[in-house]
Structure 1
Amino acid sequence: MRKFIRVSLVTLLLGFSIVFGKTLLDLAPLPTTLSVTTSPIRKLQVLDRHAIPLIMTYQNDWNIYDYVPLHEIPELLQRIFLLAEDKRFYEHGGPDWRARWHALFQNILALRIVRGASTITEQTVRMLYLRPRTFWSHWLQGIEASRLERHFSKADILEFYLNQVPYANQRRGVVQAARYYFDRDLDTLNLKEMIALAVLIRAPSRLDLRRNKTEIEAPIVRLAQRLFELNLISNTDYQEILTTPLSLREASLPIQATHFVNYIYTSHAASPLPHLGRLYTTLDAKLQSFVQLILNQRIQELQNQNVSHGAVLVVDHQTNEVLAWVNSGRPSPEISGSQIDAVTIPRQPGSALKPFLYALALEKGWTAATLIDDAPLAEAVGVGLHDYRNYSRSYYGSLRLRDVLGNSLNIPAIRTIQFVSAQSFLQRLHQLGISSLTARSDYYGDGLALGNGGVTLLELVQAYTVLAYQGLFRPLKVLRNTSPTKAISVFTPEIASIIADILSDSDARRLEFGRGTLLRFPIQTAVKTGTSTDYRDAWAVGFNHHYTVGVWLGNLDQQPMSQVSGATGSALILRAIFAELNRYEETQPLFLSHKLVKVNICRTTGQLATPTCPSKLEWFIPGSQPVSSDQPELTPVKPLKKAFYLKQPTPDLQLAMDPRIPDEYEAFALMLSDTSLKVNSIEWVVDDEVIGTTVADTRQLLWPIKRGQHLAQAKVWTINAPEPMTTPTVRFYVK
């Protein structure tokens, strides 16, 4: 007997030693803090400039972004959780042995596990140290809970628990659960919703309200009855719980900025993680919501004109911070094109690039008073001939640069790009931050002046901030507190001032737009519109002393709109946004360089004013102002390598006869290049045969066209010349 007792004691001692040793080995180290601020960040939380969340993320291991201190959690909600999960929380030292023995007795009677006895402290340990749910894990959790309570206060443990307890769909803590199920903050929850949050943690997946609301009703009623018996709620409260159904609501962000957030994630993916995983952006949530409303309303108004999409970008060009980044509608897999960010998609800008073209012309010696010819113009495009037209199909003769830019005339723009060269213009657009124009200049040709290459709204607004900010280029900022970048001068302050002054001059746009249109703002604002071919894109860009705003309307599937231009479609949005921006701003004019010289000029000649001509005041860069009142020649746009050449036909031109017109009535105009020489007469030669003669200043002749290959040239007789000058022979085709 003694031997049996001795063996038993040794066995017991050995078993105790093994359990004791394994316990020491398996116990997790005590955490130094219950703070989760140093935990790994899987996905950043993106905030606006005032710390308003722009996106919800639940991909991190812990609830970092919706953590609230214990004193901000309603006291009644705390009591409900304590009653439901650990009614002796403030009495035990970690594990509740009384509850454990009671649960063990109930489980033995039922021959299955019907009740657990984990305290809130033990559940906290279970969250801190993930283990399989076994008896051994439960044993370790009890010891670790005791250690946890010796190092942390009850308030610290309860605060951690209420902020990190897991719910369905990756939500953690009562704040995220309240928003997920009821779209409420904690202080707006009703009593039944509070009880539901306490019941849900028992089986987050099985009791998920998004799947089934009926299964949770019975445990809610049982917990409510206990609350009533303990006088924690009134009979009225109890009856209301019994009769009022749970009302679920979809959680929603206070602001829609999905595309902006995606841009942040992609463009700043390699940036070092900020403090606590929070990324503060430059966006203004209030302004974002206002612009969203304006854009959506305008597109709704234009639906009958086949307008489906739009985008707006608002920038504070004093700081170069993006304040609003808006796409129409709400991104959804069910809505075609809604997941495309129209702010970053290249589209044809139409006339919106013209201010930069004329700024380059000013740099190369032109002035706002330079005369440019607005007359019918046809230029070779490949083996074809393109007739350039103004938007209104009107021609105004010789006009000053101020008027051709203000009225956004196409033919003078072509003459201007021929003066500065397409290559120089493309290089300058690249310096302005427009990187979507990736082809060579000969690919775009003169059509670059009219916007035949795609640019993004982001790039276009970036470029306009250069004009708005004294000709200086600075990259747009989307993150707060980023290091300042060095400004690069693209245009002089004087050139930027003149272009801005023209774009804000309602008199300069009177020919095509009138003086009293949507483009005339109550506060001085430079405005430019653009419309691409077949009304596929409608743009409006503007800036005042403080802000630059860009608007685009169109269809992301490239379908044309119905007669919606920048001036009729986008300008109203631009006007409404500036009205809001100016609401709390002190009125100020646009920047005007003090170096500019003001001169009274003649409206028709651009030279010094005389008593016999209508006059106006014009700004000039010092040294470029007119010094006489003599009528000038029109500014040449392209130096001629030869004294004479055929302007039409162009080499290898291909013409097609129109089947709708009788052949005998079809004709093509042979045209001679402009020249300053005095011409006496011109002999027009086709296929070595003189087909006609014109005299003096008649530089063209109608030729009845015939199918086949032809050769054309002209013999030009100048005054007092013994022999004619002959143009190079041009081969062309008629099909």
Structure 2
Amino acid sequence: MIHKPYTGKFFKWSCLSLILGLVIFIGKTISDFTSPYMEFHAVRSDASNLQILDRNNKPLTFSYQTRWNTHDNIALHEIPESFQQAFILAEDKRFFKHHGVDWQARASALSERIWSSNKSRGASTITEQVVRMLHPRARSYWSKWIEGLEAIALETQVSKSDILEFYLNQVPYASNRRGVVQAARFYFDRDLNTLSIKETLALAVLVRAPSKFDLYGGKVQIEDSINRLAKKLVEYNILDSESLINLKKHNLILSVAKTPTSSFHFVNYVREHIGNQSAWNQTKIVTTLDSNLQQFINDLLENRLKSLSSKNINNAAAIVIDSKTNEIIAWVSVGSRCKETMNKASGCLIDMVTAPRQPGSSLKPFLYGAALEKDWTAVTIIEDLPYSNRVGQGIHHFHNYSNSYYGKVTLRTALGNSLNIPALHTINYVTPEKYLFILQNLGFKSLTQAADYYDEGLALGNGEVTLFELAQAYSTFANRGIFSPLKITFYRDAPSDKKRIYSDEVSSLIGNILSDPWARNLEFSRGSVLNLPTQTAVKTGTSNDYRDAWAVGYNYRYVVGIWMGNADYSATDGITGSLGPSLALRGIFNELTKNTETAPLYISPKLVAKDVCINPEDLENHTLNCAMHTEYFLPEEEKSPVELTTNKIDIFRPANGLEMAIDPRIPHNKQAFEMRLSGALETDTVEWVIDNEKHAPTLGITFLWPTKIGKHYVEAIIWRNGQVLTKTEKHAFNVK
């Protein structure tokens, strides 16, 4: 018996298997499939994020270590049409005809694989390549299927032009470059609209295999590929035959692009201070920074740190202001090891332009400006003699930088030579409260403590301020005494809270003193590096233990401020303001004024010029036959005779609250303490009153008192010309 096969049962199970397989296939497809629209939109939004540009539209924000190009995006209408056509013809010639998948190209590629084993052609459309960027997957037939579905879905939600724009801005190249803008700069150091036809075709060819075809280190030459693409352009009437012939005659010339200027500290400051980005209605913000000047100063400071490497100094910062517009045109913060360690070395990520540090003597011009506003003149005589005062329960002996004392000096000499003792007398005249009020109005927001916290030490820079604040305050002198906040962008003006701090006459007089080589002759010499070819007001500063070195200056147009030191507050090996930053300051001013017409500093026409004695003693005694120099006065000052300004007479030593101890190695009856007055004359008669006991009057400002253990009180009565001149305040002190 011959049995017929039972085909019905077989067919049934075959159909069930097919249906089950189809269900599994569809289920896996659905589970793997993800609409790329959300990612596409997110990347475009991120890529359209606020970009920070310099004043010449050069990018200040850049990074080649991120997944997406968010800084060098370009709108499709800004990309030359011939450039777009070359990429479409090279990658997806039916781009505007298909709906995400080019089935004709896929069939052709499959045929080539079957009959010729040619695996060089992938048939991926531009849309599919965009999907692959958004959803990277291992290469397989399955991933190819999913990419096709996602490409179809993407084209139902996004226009062709948006997809092409995304592709041209994000397509990967060698060395982590993304997009045609970065590629054009990387290989040819030019913008897209300046590329030759051959350079354009090279960028189109390179995307096929960025590493293999890399013009700098690739293993495969791309000339043949460029020529094949050029012939296609001729076939489609995009390129004429003559251009094809010329293209073959010329070689590609590579030009290594310069790394964009390092400005991330400035960029961070801009981002923090521009407020709500939506209010700007801009995708790009043009700042006031000049990236060419920025690069010059960056290199200058790095070289300066290198030359001072033996002095234990690792960080430097600079800021440059155009005082005519109040725009910041350079903002640099560098470290000696930041470049080699990719900013991982100590202090590299700290912006030393905005980091509070002790300014030393660089604040003194603001103090003397206050004294001039009050009623002092440039020839007011101030004592420069040893000076001590109480600090806590002890006593501090103040001295000048050179440890020299010059006796009686004029205000011009005191400021020009940055003498410390006259500055202390000046702040006692102005008062710390008034001086702090002026500094806070000059924009020193870092000085947050009360006046009694700083006390007279504020005259010597014991409060911390930032380089930004210091340069901004100096721009007040450059702007004839009017304070105005600095500008960082062209889209929004700085707050219009301009206010006058110093008169036109006083501010110009301060500039005249700070630019006078003769005024600084005692401490700096007339041949100092601070004497610039163009009249420039310059001031230096050095903090305690050489932790901070400053140099600030301004001329007819620019304000420059420089800080040097260590971000970790460690001391340098003797770096002062005149030794460290001054040479860099001179270099920056030379760069700013080269090939330009310069001008002297402004001097107020209201100031009255008058010849006066150079020597303070002659000036005080109104000597007729003396060496003379020209000095400037306010009109009302010129009418009155120049007189000695007598400082307040007070007990200089012991300071109020002083704690001292008997030396156990010396018999008590052999020990004595020298009491001393300040502000009195050596010809004055002084009656010392200790513990309510009057001692015999003595001539001069000192008195030798035999020490006694216990708490004591002292005051002094000063006689002059046979009459009581004044009585000092009572000081308490303790001997242990």
**Structure-2-length-normalised TM-score:** 0.77
Which amino acid is the alignment partner of residue 539 of structure 1?
Answer: W
Match of 2:399 among 371, 381, 389: 389
Alignment CA distance shift 1:208-1:463 (3 Å): farther
Deviation at 1:257, TM superposition (A): 1.4
Structure 1 gap segments, 5+ residues each = 1-18, 20-25, 202-206
Q: Is the 8 A contact 1:195 1:224 kept in 2?
A: no
Q: Is the 8 A contact 2:205 2:226 kept in 1?
A: no
Q: Does 1:261 align with 2:281?
A: no
Q: In the alignment, which residue of structure 1 is the partner of 2:700?
A: 698
Match of 1:322 among 306, 324, 328: 328
Q: In the alignment, which residue of structure 1 is the partner of 2:499?
A: 488
SS at match of 2:675: strand
Measure, in 1, the Cα distance between the counterparts of 2:167 and 2:724.
104
Match of 2:377 among 364, 367, 370: 367
Q: In the alignment, which residue of structure 2 is the partner of 1:198?
A: 207
Alignment CA distance shift 1:402-1:729 (3 Å): closer
Measure, in 2, the Cα distance between the counterparts of 1:169 and 1:534.
46
Which amino acid is the alignment partner of residue 260 of structure 2?
Answer: P
Q: In the alignment, which residue of structure 2 is the partner of 1:536?
A: 547
Structure 2 gap segments, 5+ residues each = 1-25, 27-32, 233-243
Deviation at 1:361, TM superposition (A): 0.7
Measure, in 1, the Cα distance between the counterparts of 2:185 and 2:474.
41
Alignment CA distance shift 1:225-1:575 (3 Å): closer
Q: For 1:442-457, what aligned pairs fall within 5 Å after superposition?
A: 442-457=452-467
> Aligned pairs, how many?
674
Q: In the alignment, which residue of structure 2 is the partner of 1:289?
A: 295
Q: In the alignment, which residue of structure 2 is the partner of 1:624?
A: 637
Match of 1:654 among 659, 672, 676: 659
Q: For 1:50-449, what aligned pairs fall within 5 Å after superposition?
A: 50-56=56-62, 65-67=72-74, 82-83=89-90, 85-86=91-92, 96-103=102-109, 116-120=122-126, 123=129, 135=145, 138=148, 141=151, 161-165=167-171, 172-176=178-182, 187=195, 194=203, 197-200=206-209, 253-272=259-278, 274=280, 277-329=283-335, 330=338, 332-449=342-459
Partner deviation per Cα, 1:504-555 (whole Å, 9 max, x = no partner): 1111111111212112112111111111112111111110110010111111
Q: Is the 8 A contact 1:295 1:328 kept in 2?
A: yes
Alignment CA distance shift 1:300-1:138 (3 Å): closer
Q: Is the 8 A contact 2:389 2:397 kept in 1?
A: yes
Alignment CA distance shift 1:660-1:256 (3 Å): farther
Q: Is the 8 A contact 1:600 1:609 kept in 2?
A: no
Alignment CA distance shift 1:144-1:678 (3 Å): closer
Measure, in 2, the Cα distance between the counterparts of 1:71 and 1:383.
72
Q: In the alignment, which residue of structure 2 is the partner of 1:44?
A: 50
Q: In the alignment, which residue of structure 2 is the partner of 1:669?
A: 674
Measure, in 2, the Cα distance between the counterparts of 1:346 and 1:497.
28
Q: Which moved more, 1:663-672 or 1:306-315?
A: 663-672
Alignment CA distance shift 1:352-1:117 (3 Å): same
Alignment CA distance shift 1:726-1:372 (3 Å): closer
Which amino acid is the alignment partner of residue 710 of structure 2?
Answer: Q
Deviation at 1:348, TM superposition (A): 0.8
Measure, in 1, the Cα distance between the counterparts of 2:230 and 2:665.
95
Which amino acid is the alignment partner of residue 271 of structure 2?
Answer: Y
Measure, in 1, the Cα distance between the counterparts of 2:86 and 2:715.
102
SS at match of 2:578: helix
Which amino acid is the alignment partner of residue 98 of structure 1?
Answer: Q
Measure, in 1, the Cα distance between the counterparts of 2:701 and 2:93.
104
Q: Is the 8 A contact 1:37 1:64 kept in 2?
A: no
Q: Is the 8 A contact 2:467 2:562 kept in 1?
A: yes
Q: Does 1:462 align with 2:472?
A: yes
SS at match of 1:262: helix
Alignment CA distance shift 1:616-1:712 (3 Å): same
Deviation at 1:621, TM superposition (A): 1.4
Which amino acid is the alignment partner of residue 365 of structure 2?
Answer: P
SS at match of 2:553: strand
Measure, in 1, the Cα distance between the counterparts of 2:204 and 2:316.
45
Alignment CA distance shift 1:110-1:665 (3 Å): farther
SS at match of 2:349: coil
Deviation at 1:394, TM superposition (A): 1.6
SS at match of 1:340: coil
SS at match of 1:369: coil
Deviation at 1:67, TM superposition (A): 2.6
Measure, in 2, the Cα distance between the counterparts of 1:294 and 1:27.
53
Alignment CA distance shift 1:70-1:126 (3 Å): farther
Measure, in 2, the Cα distance between the counterparts of 1:699 and 1:510.
30
Q: In the alignment, which residue of structure 2 is the partner of 1:572?
A: 583
Measure, in 2, the Cα distance between the counterparts of 1:680 and 1:617.
37
Partner deviation per Cα, 1:123-168 (whole Å, 9 max, x = no partner): 56888999996758736856986999xx979xx9766643443569
**Structure-1-length-normalised TM-score:** 0.77
Measure, in 2, the Cα distance between the counterparts of 1:595 and 1:608.
27
Alignment CA distance shift 1:666-1:178 (3 Å): farther
Q: For 1:452-531, what aligned pairs fall within 5 Å after superposition?
A: 452-483=462-493, 485-531=496-542
Measure, in 2, the Cα distance between the counterparts of 1:680 and 1:456.
47
Q: Is the 8 A contact 2:96 2:160 kept in 1?
A: no
Measure, in 1, the Cα distance between the counterparts of 2:177 and 2:186.
8
Alignment CA distance shift 1:474-1:86 (3 Å): same
Alignment CA distance shift 1:458-1:545 (3 Å): same
Which amino acid is the alignment partner of residue 524 of structure 1?
Answer: Q
Alignment CA distance shift 1:231-1:721 (3 Å): closer
Q: Does 1:613 align with 2:623?
A: no
Alignment CA distance shift 1:54-1:277 (3 Å): same
Measure, in 2, the Cα distance between the counterparts of 1:728 and 1:143.
90
Q: Is the 8 A contact 2:131 2:150 kept in 1?
A: no
Measure, in 2, the Cα distance between the counterparts of 1:553 and 1:303.
12
Alignment CA distance shift 1:136-1:545 (3 Å): closer
Q: In the alignment, which residue of structure 2 is the partner of 1:711?
A: 712
Measure, in 1, the Cα distance between the counterparts of 2:478 and 2:724.
57
SS at match of 1:624: helix
Deviation at 1:482, TM superposition (A): 2.1
Measured on the aligned residues, the alpha-carbon RMSD in Å equals 5.0
Q: Is the 8 A contact 1:45 1:56 kept in 2?
A: no
Measure, in 2, the Cα distance between the counterparts of 1:425 and 1:368.
18
Q: In the alignment, which residue of structure 2 is the partner of 1:9?
A: none
SS at match of 2:480: coil
Alignment CA distance shift 1:52-1:659 (3 Å): farther
Partner deviation per Cα, 1:22-69 (whole Å, 9 max, x = no partner): xxxx99999xxx999995666422111001111215879776734376
Which amino acid is the alignment partner of residue 513 of structure 1?
Answer: F
Which amino acid is the alignment partner of residue 701 of structure 1?
Answer: F
Identity %: 41
